[in-house]
Amino acid sequence: MALLHNRVSNQELKEKLMKENFKRTTISFYRYFPVQNPQEFRDNLYKTLNALNVFGRIYIAKEGINAQISVPTHLMDAFKQALNETEGLANLRLNIAVEDPNGLNDELQQGKSFWVLKIKVREKIVADGIEDPNFSMERKGKYVNAQQMNQLLNDPETVIVDMRNHYEFEVGHFQNAVEIPSDTFREQLPMAVEMLATKKDKNIIMYCTGGIRCEKASAYMLHQGFDKVYHLEGGIINYAKQIKEQGIPAKFIGKNFVFDDRLGERITDDIIAKCHQCGKACDTHTNCKNDGCHLLFIQCNECATAFSGCCSNECKDTIHLPKERQEAIRKGIDKGRNIFNKSSARLRPRLPELIQNGAVSAKLNT
């Protein structure tokens, strides 16, 4: 029986990855379609992709599939053929990363954004909080490509809605986009309906990173009585690819946040965010180097040096303690709250301490 999950340590896998003598391609894709037996589908897909040395994260649910993966470039044809031979996955739109994930010139190091294959069965591929049994993904908004998107954005009767989290919106978004101020999709859906209640006669365009959120959001808006609803096909990732290939002006400004080791693909040279510690123009996300924190936040090079890659003096002091002491401190921490907490607001309670120590400008907008 084939092994249907990984049993090798992450450290060994990372070392093995960096020794590969071939190039990889970073890809994301999703599809809403009925999956009768998610666990069986998951196991069969694992066998198929594991045989092709594919790495990444894939979620399977009764409503479909959502994937962010790394494929050996020389096996791309075999990978596409495998998808086309899998029920429900034929002719998938594949979003291929715009940038080299590691920003490296060495081609052999490109595309190395994942080091293990993880395929999990979930209740939904996007947690939406929708309990209405009459809601269906069969009726959804109209797809728009990059050219159509730009044309609609030139129309004053268009409202463009960003269905991503704040930390994504902060570093890049479409011009004049409406931000739905919540970091959970389940909260954003009813908020979007409420915020746009007086705009039902307008063109409503929903967008997100790869298309999966905005496609469901467009279906929800139609379900709530909106008529002229569109969504950006393939999300920002596909938009960036199309404007580059077709020479279309970019109406997205800044950087597109992505969920692998890169933490961002640059779309334009505009830097619209600020370092969360000093307020300097910066859009580089990083995770706090303290293993008991791992807060995702924006940090400039100067603050990275001053704080040793940490989000506060407290975390900076912690990483210089003996390893045993660090492990003792981490015991009892609610890691669900502290590790990979995506809200930059977690820095706010620490600002008085940082300002007092001269690490943060008092003029930083809190």
> What's the domain count of the chain?
3
**CATH assignment of the domain containing 38:** 3.30.70.100
Residue 181 belongs to a domain? yes
What are the pLDDT digits (tens) for 258-298? 776 677 889 999 999 999 999 999 999 999 999 888 888 99
Both 104 and 185 in one domain: the answer is no
Reported as type and span, the H/E element at residue 57 is: strand 55-61
Q: Minimum mean pLDDT among 17-21, 53-57, 69-73, 96-100: which range?
A: 96-100
What are the pLDDT digits (tens) for 190-211? 999 999 999 998 999 999 998 9
Reported as type and span, the H/E element at residue 147 is: helix 146-153
Query: Which pLDDT score is estimated for 260?
Result: 66
Cβ partners under 8 Å of residue 31, min gap 6: 64, 65, 88, 89, 92
The answer, yes or no, to whether residue 45 has pLDDT greater than 90, is yes
pTM of the model: 0.74
Domain of residue 322 covers: 285-356
Both 14 and 116 in one domain: the answer is yes
Q: CA 26, CA 79: separation in Å to the nearest integer? A: 13
* Chosen domain end from 121, 156, 188: 121
Q: Residue 31's beta-bridge partner residues?
A: 65
* Chosen domain end from 92, 121, 150: 121
What are the pLDDT digits (tens) for 339-353? 333 344 444 334 334
Contact in structure between 58 and 35 (CB atoms under 8 Å) = no
Residue 260 belongs to a domain? no
Residue 299 belongs to a domain? yes
Q: CA 145, CA 17: separation in Å to the nearest integer? A: 35
Both 150 and 103 in one domain: the answer is no
Both 157 and 62 in one domain: the answer is no
Both 156 and 109 in one domain: the answer is no
Q: What single-letter amino acid sits at 222?
A: L
Both 115 and 171 in one domain: the answer is no
Residue 15 belongs to a domain? yes
Both 179 and 82 in one domain: the answer is no
Both 110 and 164 in one domain: the answer is no
Both 343 and 289 in one domain: the answer is yes
Both 318 and 348 in one domain: the answer is yes
Write the DSSP assignment of 193-226 as a string of letters. Answer: HHHTGGGTTSEEEEE-SSSHHHHHHHHHHHHTT-
The residue assigned the tokens 């990483």 is 319
pLDDT-derived band at 119, boundaries 50, 70, 90: very high
Q: Are strands 285-287 and 296-298 parallel, antiparallel or unpaired?
A: antiparallel
* Chosen domain end from 177, 212, 239: 239
**CATH assignment of the domain containing 157:** 3.40.250.10
Q: Is-catalytic flag, 208?
A: yes
Cβ partners under 8 Å of residue 273, min gap 6: 170, 171, 254, 281, 282, 283, 298
The DSSP secondary-structure symbol of 274 reads B
Query: Which pLDDT score is estimated for 8?
Result: 61
Both 19 and 108 in one domain: the answer is yes
Write the DSSP assignment of 73-119 as a string of letters. Answer: GGGHHHHHHHHHTSTT-TTPPPEE-SS-TT--S-GGGTT---SSEEE
Query: Which pLDDT score is estimated for 15?
Result: 67
Residue 244 belongs to a domain? no
Helix (H, G, I), strand (E, B) or coil at 140: coil
Residue 362 belongs to a domain? no
Give the relative orientation of helices 212-223 and 185-195 as an angle to the nearest 10 degrees.
50
Both 152 and 117 in one domain: the answer is no
Residue 105 belongs to a domain? yes
Contact in structure between 328 and 289 (CB atoms under 8 Å) = no
Residue 48 belongs to a domain? yes
Provide the mean pLDDT of the chain.
Answer: 83
More confident residue, 4 or 65: 65
Q: CA 303, CA 324: separation in Å to the nearest integer? A: 27
Query: Which pLDDT score is estimated for 364?
Result: 28
